Amino acid sequence: MIESKKHTDNADSGADQGIEPSVRAKALQQDEPGSAEAGKFLKISETYSTLQGEGSHSGLPCYFIRLAVCDIRCSWCDTPDSWTGGQWNSLEEIMEDVPEHIGLVQITGGEPLLQIKRLSILMHRLHEMGKKILLETGGHRSLESVPAFVHIVMDIKLPSSGETAHDFASNLSYLKPDDEIKFVIADETDFQAALGWIQRYDLTRRFQVLISPLAGLDLKKLAQWVLDSKLTMRLQLQLHKYIWGPDARMV
């Protein structure tokens, strides 16, 4: 980790389990800057520089901008701090903190697409600076407004997440061949469900497919399942957890 900045100073931080998603999404509106300038603010959970730990850019220095608020609750979510809370930052403040020497910027969450209108402005500015932009999304919100220059990493949620009842399929038409679909695998049931998605939508021919195991899953078994499938997909291990430990944050 090179540098970090945590943004947690407002009233809606803290647990909100049991609250309806539509109510949770209002966390973005409750304390929104009320002036005509509101469109120039994003609600940020944390920012930090580290090595990208996942996907096709794994191992590269990367600046992370984690947006606050998520409207779903994956059972294995490793960033519950980002479900609520955060702090409104102006686009200028965000841009000032982006390191010049790091070419890769990951926008993650929380669910970044909850703030897509403002986020789109930020992504255009980063693009004009020459940054490569990765957008990580839970896949349950429409990708329609994401600029074409953004590299998308989209989850399709499997049974262990408890969040399968969303229209992930409608987002497939917005993905480009280099974009990545990530399946988080807790067990064989999840892996079989991933195979179902891949076969139904021909995903490994159309996109890059990531298989990402949860802690505790037998990696040799998972590797064998991948090989037995005869499909071209990438088994990925989260590099940052091997370097800094499974519980380290902002790395």
The binding site for ligand SF4 (CB under 6 A) comprises: 70, 72-74, 77, 79, 82, 109-111, 138
From the CB of residue 167, how many other CB atoms can be counted at a distance below 10 Å? 10
Cis peptide bond N-terminal to 110, omega within 30? yes
Q: Judged by CB, which is closer to ligand SF4: 153, or 172?
A: 153
The distance of closest approach from Cβ of residue 111 to ligand SF4 in the complex, given in angstroms and rounded to an integer, is 5
Q: Judged by CB, which is closer to ligand SF4: 40, or 85?
A: 85
Q: List the beta strands (DSSP E) in the chain.
A: 3-6, 41-51, 61-67, 87-90, 104-108, 132-137, 151-155, 180-185, 208-213, 234-235
Q: Judged by CB, which is closer to ligand SF4: 49, or 108?
A: 108
Cα separation, 41 vs 18, in Å, equals 28
Cα separation, 126 vs 17, in Å, equals 34
Q: Judged by CB, which is closer to ligand SF4: 71, or 187?
A: 71
The distance of closest approach from Cβ of residue 24 to ligand SF4 in the complex, given in angstroms and rounded to an integer, is 10
Q: Judged by CB, which is closer to ligand SF4: 40, or 183?
A: 183
H-type alpha helices, 1-115 = 21-25, 27-30, 91-97
Structural contact between residues 74 and 159, judged by C-beta atoms closer than 8 angstroms: no
What are the tokens at 37? 């300038």
From the CB of residue 30, how many other CB atoms can be counted at a distance below 10 Å? 9
The distance of closest approach from Cβ of residue 250 to ligand SF4 in the complex, given in angstroms and rounded to an integer, is 15
The distance of closest approach from Cβ of residue 34 to ligand SF4 in the complex, given in angstroms and rounded to an integer, is 27
Q: Judged by CB, which is closer to ligand SF4: 62, or 158?
A: 158
The distance of closest approach from Cβ of residue 227 to ligand SF4 in the complex, given in angstroms and rounded to an integer, is 27
